[in-house]
Structure 1
Amino acid sequence: MTGADKSNSDKDTTLQYFDLDGSASLGRPIDVPVKGSIPAWVKGSLYRNGSGVYKMGDLTWKHAFDGFAVLHRWTIKDGRVTYLSSVLDSDHYNKCVKVNRLTGYSFGSSFPDPCKNIFSSILQESSLIIGNQILQVSIANYIAVHMGTAHPHQDPDGTMYYFGTNIKYSQAYNFVRIPRNPQAQSPFAGAELIGFIPSRWKLNVAYTHSFGMTKNYFVHIEQPYVISVPKIATMAMRHSSLADCIRCYPEEP
């Protein structure tokens, strides 16, 4: 997955996890300074993915969660460490590159789309906001979940267990089993819903970063830090961000 073609090889090799512009893509691996020594038997690659590009044209994302994804790879071999990065070629990123500006709605930012008028923005709100920012996870093509966990769990046999929320309060928190199938075209092929928990609020769904799992049980904490479904449904009309749709109920357990 290659991103912007602009090479970063002429910049200082001090590694920055956050980069304001699209120069976060390196044309080739660079050497990373090593203090001390690394045993020869230590080898492999570490991959990380996270927000990294925050500026496009004259606009800058406002929140740390808003940046376009940058893929990072550190490779250890023969006592040396090299680093390579690439901006993820997402549809949203490529669209912003085409118009040379930030567009759409993110966690803490909201920028109008120059290709749409106010009416088309309202009509497409569910597919734009929920689709791109919350709903666009590939598992949604197989299971009716809208926002997924950051940390799925895996059994020794390769079976993956996933957690996803649904804006339907009676089936708000969903547990999904995904069997291991290396031959499948999608890693989510064969996904099945194996259980769900209703939300205690009819118009709110608790924000859930992760979940727990034991041999016999799933562990879910419904914290009073919630996403308002009505506010999500009117984001485009109000020109607001996902952060504006979050509520906290400190008086509730």
Structure 2
Amino acid sequence: MNRRQLLASGAALGLLPATAFPNTDTFKQFHAARERDPTLAVLANMVGERAGDAVVKGRIPADLDGVFFRNGPGRFELGGERYHHWFDGDGYAQRWQISQGKVSHRGAFVATQKFIDESEAGQFLYPAFGTQITRRGIRGNDTMNAANTNLLPFGGRLYALWEGGSATELDPRTLATVGIRTWRDDLKSMPFSAHPKIDQDGSMWNFGALPGGGRLALYHVGPDGPLLAAGVVEVPQLAMVHDFVISGQHLIFLVPPYDLLADTALSFAERHAWAGSGPAARPMRAVVVSKATLQLRQVFDLDPHMVFHFGNAFDDGQTTRFDAVLHGAGALASFGALMRGERAPNLAAHSFTAQIRLDYASGKAHQARLFGNSEFPRVMPQTVGRRHRKLAVLSSAARNREHILDTVNLVDTDTGKADSFRFDAGWLAEEHVLVPRRNARSETDGYLLGVVQDARRSETLLSVFDAAHVADGPLALARLGYRTPICFHGNFLPA
């Protein structure tokens, strides 16, 4: 795979100079709204590092021992300006240490080149996902790298991940930034998604999307860090692809029907024009790649939807089955209102978790609704790429008409029945992950671990559930005496 050939059609985000900064209305609107509604502090700007011990209510299980790493956008404002989209903020890495029934926390910004340059300048300089800023020219994808989406422990190292550029290595104990991780010299600054999948042999699969270039870059990394293989798959009319899923034999991507507009005065998010409706409507495509050859195997058509996240996939004879959370056309742009302090309509209320079956012999894809409004699907790590029967998702109670996820669910993928717990009004649930006990014998033999925000008190808590009895409520809640930014994704590393 030649990097120059891959980037010949433009940088991964296809961004070129336009205007200095669109406007400062977002900053003014948010702070006016926060004065009226203090619970908007969950979306406020974060400044500096935080560290402290949590106060535990309940009991942390003795065999739950390790570190829960989390990452999400934390800096939304600089120099009196505020980003226009939630996905724009600079990455704020978090480390929850769980040991002997106690919990401690540390949070720090990822010191990317972007973060350093803009901190020194006292203002935003570079284009972001949903805010087109061009005060300073970009030298490559990593000039814009916000490192704000996931935090992955792998091969004894820790990586802060974005999707438009390289992985950024952090010190797993202090969260100090080590620097850019380049898997091979000719792949420097190539897109490397925030959703790698760890296979049963300990190796890592990942991809990088090149929207506007019609290509997916593919990576297979060994358990200790060497690049085992890399490849390229041609995907015409490729726009944003955020996640993927692996089965025993395949890599599977869902490509939503967007056209990528050429207007460089718009941000990357604004350049996405929905093409899934009207007389010339296009389907969503399922693109299947062979793990053995990194070559395209087959493409399937599905009803048009937007998709952010997948659950798991497994091969079943001449078919592959997988879970995906599907959204409507407006999902990509819906987070801008949050940055203005507006109570955006609940995105999850218009979503659902689907089970999709790809039949290679007939060339047909079959879709069935598994669970209602939902997001952030996760499975037990020992089931990745294999047959699974339990899927953790977040959802929203019927009372919530705003963008709030407040219910934790463990869904039976055979029946659709869920073991669920709803947090109190004014609480917001972040992604929860499944953590197996040592030598676990089932998919419920372990814990459901996550983070929740108590917006009324502007404090953050770690939550621990017994995966076999979610409806009984948390075994423990570990409360910090301060607020942390809302994270997108993270992973647990057992001691």
Counterpart check, 1:164 vs 2:200: no
Instruction: Tell me, in whole angstroms, the C-alpha distance in 2 between the residues paired with 1:48 and 1:226.
Output: 32
Instruction: Tell me, in whole angstroms, the C-alpha distance in 1 between the residues paired with 2:43 and 2:219.
Output: 33
Instruction: Tell me, in whole angstroms, the C-alpha distance in 2 between the residues paired with 1:61 and 1:140.
Output: 33
1:6 corresponds to:
none
Q: Identify the match of residue 132 of structure 2 among 104, 110, 128.
A: 110
Instruction: Tell me, in whole angstroms, the C-alpha distance in 2 between the residues paired with 1:211 and 1:109.
Output: 25
2:269 corresponds to:
243
The question of whether the paired residues in 1 share the 8 Å contact of 2:183 and 2:227 is answered with: no
Instruction: Tell me, in whole angstroms, the C-alpha distance in 1 between the residues paired with 2:61 and 2:73.
Output: 32
Change (3 A) 1:144 1:87: closer
Change (3 A) 1:197 1:252: same
One-letter code aligned to 1:206 = A
The structure with the largest helix share of the pair is: 1
1:193 corresponds to:
230
Counterpart check, 1:34 vs 2:71: no
Instruction: Tell me, in whole angstroms, the C-alpha distance in 1 between the residues paired with 2:242 and 2:92.
Output: 20
Q: Identify the match of residue 246 of structure 2 among 210, 213, 219.
A: 213
The question of whether the paired residues in 2 share the 8 Å contact of 1:142 and 1:191 is answered with: no
After TM superposition, the score normalised by the length of structure 2 is 0.38
CA distances 1:92-125 after superposition (whole Å, capped 9, x unpaired): 1111111111221101113342xx5xxxx4xx5x
1:11 corresponds to:
none
The question of whether the paired residues in 1 share the 8 Å contact of 2:71 and 2:92 is answered with: yes
The question of whether the paired residues in 2 share the 8 Å contact of 1:143 and 1:191 is answered with: no
- Aligned-pair CA distance for 1:142: 4.0
The structure with the largest strand share of the pair is: 2
Instruction: Tell me, in whole angstroms, the C-alpha distance in 2 between the residues paired with 1:94 and 1:145.
Output: 17
Instruction: Tell me, in whole angstroms, the C-alpha distance in 2 between the residues paired with 1:80 and 1:56.
Output: 36
Percent of paired sites with the same residue = 20
Where 1:71 maps in the other structure, the secondary structure is: strand
Where 1:111 maps in the other structure, the secondary structure is: coil
Would you say how many aligned residue pairs link Structure 1 and Structure 2?
208
Instruction: Tell me, in whole angstroms, the C-alpha distance in 2 between the residues paired with 1:246 and 1:140.
Output: 31
Counterpart check, 1:22 vs 2:47: yes
The question of whether the paired residues in 1 share the 8 Å contact of 2:45 and 2:74 is answered with: yes
- Aligned-pair CA distance for 1:145: 8.5
Change (3 A) 1:45 1:34: same
Instruction: Tell me, in whole angstroms, the C-alpha distance in 1 between the residues paired with 2:211 and 2:86.
Output: 25
The question of whether the paired residues in 2 share the 8 Å contact of 1:105 and 1:129 is answered with: no
Q: Identify the match of residue 174 of structure 1 among 209, 217, 235.
A: 217
Instruction: Tell me, in whole angstroms, the C-alpha distance in 1 between the residues paired with 2:68 and 2:197.
Output: 19
One-letter code aligned to 1:136 = G
- Aligned-pair CA distance for 1:130: 7.8
Change (3 A) 1:139 1:107: farther
One-letter code aligned to 1:30 = G
Where 1:243 maps in the other structure, the secondary structure is: coil
Instruction: Tell me, in whole angstroms, the C-alpha distance in 2 between the residues paired with 1:93 and 1:19.
Output: 18
Change (3 A) 1:92 1:143: closer
User: Aligned runs of 1:22-171 on 2, under 5 Å?
Assistant: 22-23=47-48, 25-26=49-50, 29-113=51-135, 116=136, 121=137, 124=138, 127=139, 132-133=144-145, 135-137=164-166, 138-139=182-183, 141-143=185-187, 146-167=190-211, 169=213
Q: Which has the higher contact order (CA 8 A, sep 6+)?
A: 2
> Where in structure 2 are there 5+ consecutive unaligned residues?
1-40, 146-162, 167-181, 284-495
Change (3 A) 1:191 1:142: farther
One-letter code aligned to 2:144 = N
The question of whether the paired residues in 1 share the 8 Å contact of 2:113 and 2:143 is answered with: no
Where 1:62 maps in the other structure, the secondary structure is: coil
Q: CA RMSD in A?
A: 2.9
After TM superposition, the score normalised by the length of structure 1 is 0.70
One-letter code aligned to 2:240 = Y
Change (3 A) 1:247 1:103: same
The question of whether the paired residues in 1 share the 8 Å contact of 2:142 and 2:189 is answered with: no
Where 2:45 maps in the other structure, the secondary structure is: coil
Change (3 A) 1:225 1:34: farther
The question of whether the paired residues in 1 share the 8 Å contact of 2:209 and 2:217 is answered with: yes
Where 1:104 maps in the other structure, the secondary structure is: coil
The question of whether the paired residues in 2 share the 8 Å contact of 1:143 and 1:193 is answered with: no
Change (3 A) 1:226 1:82: farther
Where 1:98 maps in the other structure, the secondary structure is: helix
- Aligned-pair CA distance for 1:191: 4.7
The question of whether the paired residues in 2 share the 8 Å contact of 1:207 and 1:226 is answered with: no
Change (3 A) 1:226 1:22: farther
